[in-house]
Structure 1
Amino acid sequence: MVSDGFLWFIRQMAEAAAVPWVVGWCQGKHSLYSHINTDLIKERIGVEGIDDRKNQPLTFIPGFSNIRVQDLPDGVVFENLESSFLRTLHQMGRVLHRADLVFANSFHELDPVVTAELNLKLGRFINVGPMTLLTQQKQLEDSSDSCLRWLDEQDTGSVAYVGFGSVARPSKDEIIALGEALEESGVKFLWSLREDLKAFLPEGYVERNKGKGMVLPWVPQVKVLEHRAVGVSINHFGWNSVIECMAAQVPIIGRPFLGDQKLNGRLVEAVWEIGVLVEGGVFTREGVRKGLELVLHSDKGKKLKENVARLGKLAREAIRPPNGSSLPNFIALLEIITK
């Protein structure tokens, strides 16, 4: 049986059926490692008065020396720890070691210490990513054709791609501020924006920015990020977006909303140095403009691009035969679930 890590109770069904329990972890490895270490973290730093210790680094966890208390995912020491969902997360961290295999959409070279620790804690943990480099994406029609043709007409590295996935929901004020920043910055942009959020844009915004930008309800994100014209991604630090940017060698300007996104943002900005947190942690007109200027036109931006290019090359090597670190893991996973 193959399940998401959150569905820890599938373990009982697999045991009753006498079949392997294989867990797919859809977030980053650091997030998984945080949940597995929830009891240790609570023991070492406590949960009462936690705001007074939010800048404390988690040096007692291998691979977490640059991670602070405030960066931890929801459900470890923050939010309502007695809610049913967060109790589920806690229980998950306690039982995942009973899985026959846990796999994640990542690659060994990105954080070998955390990979080694997860193997110690779980028994068998493997990286099988980046998945976008291992699988062929089907070319979809409609808006994807128009946006890719538009990108073909733009200069290399000149376009900001903006997208927040299907769950993150910026406020009306943030959508307006982001729209104003894009319009005033002079940077070409491609914005994947759901229709319910598009309604927040000022009247006439899309028409006024024709030629300079496109606002569409959906775009083929992987193909967009891989396009030579895209020079920066403005996103929510969701794990899929982060590793897709890494694989495509595109730096990030991020605004975290929930779950593991604060942790991913810390890794992006302070550990891997492939992007920046938007100024103040929320979208403002000036903060977004500063972020675009930094990434696209400053010496620090050049360094970010160098770093993400280096990790992108490692990501591609991880899936390259015959010796890529993720490729044999992916083949082993297929053998387990198809035999």
Structure 2
Amino acid sequence: MEKEQRDYKAHCLVFPYPSQGHINPLLQFSKLLAHKGVKVTLVTTRFIYNTMYKGSCCTALETISLEAISDGFDEGWKTQGVSIQAYLESLWKVGSQNLAELIEKLSGSGCPVDCLVYDAFMPWPLDIAKKFGIVGAVFFTQSCAVDNIYNHVNKGVLKLPLTDSEISLPGMPPLEPLDLPSFLSHFGSYPAFFEVVIGQFCNVDKADWVLCNTFYDLEEQVVDWLAKFWPVRTIGPTIPSNYLDNRLKDDKGYGVDLFKSSNDACMKWLNKHPKNSVAYISFGSAAQLGLEQMEELAWGLKRSKSKFLWVVRESEAAKVPEGFIEETAEKGLVVSWCSQLEVLAHEAVGCFITHCGWNSTLESLSLGVPLVAMPQWTDQSTNAKYIKDVWEIGVKAQPDEKGIVRREEVEHCINEIMERDKGKEIQKNAMKWKDLARKAVVDGGSSNRNIDEFIETLVKH
């Protein structure tokens, strides 16, 4: 056992919020820690563990241990008719007990835990870290801009409901109410999630480290502002290194999928099409479009001049207009899931129609793919603001008075980017940010330096 202890610099427990959009960046961060000689144990719930497509994560888990704990709903809370409030309370109460027992078990096995990296959506693991005297590092999976907005609400500086037509916050451009996360612009919607995103900051001042999935050049001013109060370190973009610096051999995927992929079919189809000729459409693992919006999007894709690859999750498939897939078979491909990174990296893809989730935004930005922003809820409106007006790497599809992006607008936005003359400046900016994302991690870039500094703290601890 003494030899095993000498084989690693420190032992880090990594605990993401149990959803794919949160697991993936924390798993990628785990792989980077393991690559630098840290023993990493990824903790997830039993339900998530049992629903993972393990074939896609075997390589990742060669260097990372995996532990499953109960959250009180081992068969999944969504199928048991409970509210999100009830689930979150169970995750906190049952999860706290089991996470503490896991740390005790690992200590008793000769592999004591030196650090707990936990998702900001769950602030309570910090109390457990303090109880055991180990380093507590909070990991924010959203942008620093969004974190800054939520923290101002938490402190009572940004008061709700909103009354001003323009919001001015330090380190950020002027914002309109609809540029803010939906929980604020539509105050009272999804109260349980509002409590989660504001609750991220209830004890952040006590964390030993504040890790953010972004890179400094991308959010320089707001990072500098937050660093005045917290030990902030930017450690992103946390996407597989094959698309950035190749420091991890054959690291092409995050390692975990909660949906079955149609990747081979996607790649074969894309290989048949010329460079920058395909619009890729995906709204991530959670967003749900209304029936009318799905129909307008579908017919907008048909009207546009571009080929299209559209990801429609099985749970959303019934919303696709009858006959659409058959009518557009020569022009498009509809699949239930795919490896988004591989698709975005394919030269045939010329733009990405997206809900603007932070993972999707970082992936597209890191691969130089222009965006058509169609934000749905939570942080996505703020990301869309930055995509269009700050980073200037895309356009925002404008909804009508009913909140629906009509087919004509879908067609217009695609053509705005895909027609080379119109989209030239956007394409140029997208490539600039691709270079800066790569620079953040290669040759001892800021992300690498911040990760190394974090590890040095663990070793000294």
TM-score, normalization: structure 2? 0.67
Amino acid paired to 2:220: P
| 1:96 equivalent in alignment to 2:204 | yes
Q: Which residue of 2 aligns with 1:271?
A: 390
Flag the structure with larger Rg.
Answer: 2
State the Cα RMSD in Å. Answer: 2.4
Q: Which residue of 2 aligns with 1:79?
A: 187
Deviation at 1:94, TM superposition (A): 3.8
| Structural mapping, 1:256-335, within 5 Å | 256-280=375-399, 282-297=404-419, 299-322=421-444, 324-333=445-454
Deviation at 1:157, TM superposition (A): 0.7
Amino acid paired to 1:301: G
Q: Secondary structure of the residue that 1:313 maps to in structure 2?
A: helix
The 2-side partners of 1:190 and 1:98 are apart by 45
Checking the alignment, whether the CA contact within 8 Å between 1:66 and 1:271 is kept in structure 2 is: no
Q: Which residue of 1 aligns with 2:130?
A: 15
Segments ≥4 residues shifted beyond 6 Å: 139-142
Q: Secondary structure of the residue that 1:183 maps to in structure 2?
A: helix
The change in CA–CA distance for 1:145 and 1:221 in structure 2 (over 3 A counts) is same
Amino acid paired to 2:416: L
Unaligned ranges ≥5, structure 1: none
The 1-side partners of 2:404 and 2:349 are apart by 23
| 1:253 equivalent in alignment to 2:253 | no
Q: Which residue of 1 aligns with 2:29?
A: none
The 2-side partners of 1:301 and 1:238 are apart by 22
Q: Which residue of 2 aligns with 1:112?
A: 220
Amino acid paired to 2:437: A
Amino acid paired to 2:160: V
Q: Which residue of 1 aligns with 2:57?
A: none
The 1-side partners of 2:218 and 2:443 are apart by 18
Q: Counting helix residues as a fraction of each chain, which structure ranks higher?
A: 1
1:283-334, Cα deviation, whole Å (9 max, x unpaired): 3111101101111126442111111111111001111123x11122234445
The change in CA–CA distance for 1:335 and 1:174 in structure 2 (over 3 A counts) is farther
| Structural mapping, 1:24-39, within 5 Å | 24-39=139-154
Q: Which residue of 1 aligns with 2:239?
A: 132
Deviation at 1:75, TM superposition (A): 4.1
TM-score, normalization: structure 1? 0.89
2:166 is matched with which residue: 29, 51, 56?
56
Checking the alignment, whether the CA contact within 8 Å between 1:161 and 1:233 is kept in structure 2 is: yes
Checking the alignment, whether the CA contact within 8 Å between 1:34 and 1:76 is kept in structure 2 is: no
The change in CA–CA distance for 1:227 and 1:276 in structure 2 (over 3 A counts) is same
Checking the alignment, whether the CA contact within 8 Å between 2:216 and 2:223 is kept in structure 1 is: yes
2:174 is matched with which residue: 66, 79, 84?
66
| Structural mapping, 1:79-228, within 5 Å | 79-80=187-188, 83-122=191-230, 124-134=231-241, 136-138=251-253, 143-228=262-347
1:92-151, Cα deviation, whole Å (9 max, x unpaired): 2242121111212211111211111121121x1111121115361249996211211211
The 2-side partners of 1:94 and 1:333 are apart by 23
Matched length: 330
Q: Secondary structure of the residue that 1:120 maps to in structure 2?
A: coil
Amino acid paired to 2:311: S
Amino acid paired to 1:269: K
Amino acid paired to 1:285: R
| 1:240 equivalent in alignment to 2:355 | no
The 2-side partners of 1:261 and 1:87 are apart by 17
The 2-side partners of 1:225 and 1:215 are apart by 16
The 1-side partners of 2:410 and 2:427 are apart by 18
Checking the alignment, whether the CA contact within 8 Å between 1:36 and 1:94 is kept in structure 2 is: no
